Amino acid sequence: MTAREWFTRAEKENFAIGAFNVDNLEIFKGIVTAAKNKNSPVMVQFSPGEVGYFGLKNLVDLVINAREEYKIPILLNLDHSRTVEDCRAAISQPGFDDVHFDGSHLEIDENIKNAKDVVAFAHSKGVIVEGEMDKLGGSSEVHEEEIDEATLRQSYTDPKRAAKFVKETGVDIFAAVCGNIHGTFLNQKDLDIALLTQIKGALPDTFLALHGGSGTPAEQIKLAIKAGIVKVNINTELRVAYHDALLEKLGESPNEYKIYSFSNEIAMAVAAVVENKIDVFGSAGKA
Ligand SMILES: [Zn+2]
């Protein structure tokens, strides 16, 4: 099944597909093991920094090999790519299902022009495109402060502008901003579900993505899926699981130099987080 078919099914059956960022091999193994255990479709995604670390060709091979080995649907997405060139490079590789062109740092006309270019090339290769109009705040890390709601509100998606953006660019997925923010904070995130419902109403034929899924209460994620979200991005919670498990293992065995002897256990700490997310997203058993 293509990514478009998966998201169409998710919308119809009221579930979302987790789009999990891959920092390293342990996190990758954690994600695909969890998806296998839950018999769930899953999306793995790489941001520019993560692509830089792995190398584009290596990550493609990793995903293609895992599809065969784990025998579950593993969709591949380029996350937050800020240039047309990087999108084209990914689309030109075998294996990509989706690219996220993030032109939210550009003037709107420039964003639309570039997104349109990406869409034309992607669609010619059977790849779908996610567009972003409103700058999503935060960064995928643990923030030791509260969310600044007043600032966050300034970037909330305006449904009418979103409809115009989608019509002009032809993007398949739209990154909605409605209280979501990258990273975890001292206070909980509070999604504006009424706004999300309006965005979906303005974009009936476009898939909706929710970035900044980490640290969002499960009940809110479930409401967001009911309102039309079919892709939930998770990064920070995986980074935290990996980081904490690694620290714990090194603390227990400071003289162990064969680090891979406990890498699998670290991967399973990540898998536990992913399994929990899959349950919340309702994608278990859908593979
Ligand atoms: Zn994001």
Residue pair 277/232 in contact by the 8 Å Cβ criterion:
yes
pLDDT at 188: 86
Considering the chain, what percentage of its residues have pLDDT values greater than 90?
Answer: 94
Instruction: Using the mean position of ligand 1's atoms as its centre, give its distance from the Cα of residue 286 in Å.
Output: 24
- Written as six digits, the tokens of 175 are 């990154």
Q: Which string of DSSP letters, residue by residue, matches 107-175?
A: -HHHHHHHHHHHHHHHHHTT-EEEEE-SPP-EEEEE-SS---HHHHHHTPPPHHHHHHHHHHH--SEEE
pLDDT tens digits along 33-43: 999 999 999 99
pLDDT at 149: 86
Instruction: Using the mean position of ligand 1's atoms as its centre, give its distance from the Cα of residue 213 in Å.
Output: 9
Arithmetic mean of pLDDT, 257-279 = 97
Instruction: Measure the CA angle with vertex 132, ends 14 and 9; round to 5°.
Output: 20
Q: What predicted TM-score, i.e. pTM, was given to this entire model? A: 0.97
Given 79, 86, 97, 172, the catalytic residue: 79
Q: Residue 1: pLDDT above 90?
A: yes
pLDDT tens digits along 143-196: 999 998 888 898 999 999 999 999 999 999 999 999 999 999 998 888 999 999
Q: What single-letter amino acid sits at 89?
A: A
Q: Which domains are assigned to the chain?
A: 3-281 (3.20.20.70)
Considering the chain, what percentage of its residues have pLDDT values greater than 70?
Answer: 100
- Residue 117 annotated in active site: no
Arithmetic mean of pLDDT, 88-112 = 97
- Written as six digits, the tokens of 223 are 């409401």
Instruction: Using the mean position of ligand 1's atoms as its centre, give its distance from the Cα of residue 259 in Å.
Output: 31
Helix axes 193-202, 218-226, angle to 10 degrees: 20
Instruction: Using the mean position of ligand 1's atoms as its centre, give its distance from the Cα of residue 78 in Å.
Output: 11
